[in-house]
Chains A and B, each alone.
Chain A
């Protein structure tokens, strides 16, 4: 956790919108976007999550010179593969204004509450909350993201 600098770029917004299959020109066409209500390109509502790209220590990105837990010669590149791993349980965003190309955001990530629950489908569940506050280059708060991750005792039963 800590503080991350997140430069918002037009090509990143375009690729993110493509990944969610959103063809709205407000995410990729500066001329069309300028004529619309948004007044220019903006980021789609879940784009804030892409701050992960700018977290130097992000654990879900392979790093040069370090073993990766995905498959290579063997199904996992590490001896002790993480058990069932973490899953995303909840995500909540509060928007104070849309993110725009050229914004340079400072994102402060803080741990929130932690709680446990017993589940028939996956054993003991441990929930961890994480709150991220996104401030722009003027120091104004523009986005608040609250995520809840869950670690399961075993893979979720598909029955």
Chain B
């Protein structure tokens, strides 16, 4: 991570911590919405940006996580934040099961499969699969989360919960990007054949990317369920997957700060245009089109890591000290 990015994160963090002092409840809630989409976009970025797998079914994993937490909470009384890791785990297992047969597909074919996956999950939820999802009405009466004995209820409190999780996520994902795993994904995205030839197990890495991305989407889903206290299938429509896909592409596929900026723009813009009422989605669409024409590589595009001269010899065996 370079210094400029670090300063950027620090400024954003300070601004967010102070935000409730200057903003009203609605504006803070918009920031919460941004936070949730930043998490979703980062989770998809792992699959789409880092591994280069065209996935337009991210809402499916999001839904699995949200429903897992909601069912655990309403049926078994598990506190929401305890249900969060279970949500992530279940979403990851689900992703591995459904992605295993299709993960070798090339870009556009995989895209079609994932679109189908998203729809299957949504329709299964509408049809009250296993009799636990509540059908089209969804699940209601989800408890608010408790953190250190404090009930999280107001938009301000959720701001700290959501953005706290964002901070953890950003830190971990930056570490991941620089790890062997992250570099392998980059290699795989740029040239799968060469990666395979160099001893990278492409299927395994792709599946891991899918699982990790799904786990994060699942955990985000559980926060969403806790915040809304009600979830229903229309929150996990195909459009939701498209929006998240859009955030990644718009911000700069593969770039963590880029994806975050993309999410912020996609969420905030329709809110700014609220006064245009019915025309707001039209204006939103036009802005998207112009942006894509002017900056096809994304707002903050991914930059290939550069190694300084000092980085390389570190891993080489040291020459024997002269006697």
**A-B interaction:** no
A residues neighboring B (CB under 8 Å)? none
B residues neighboring A (CB under 8 Å)? none
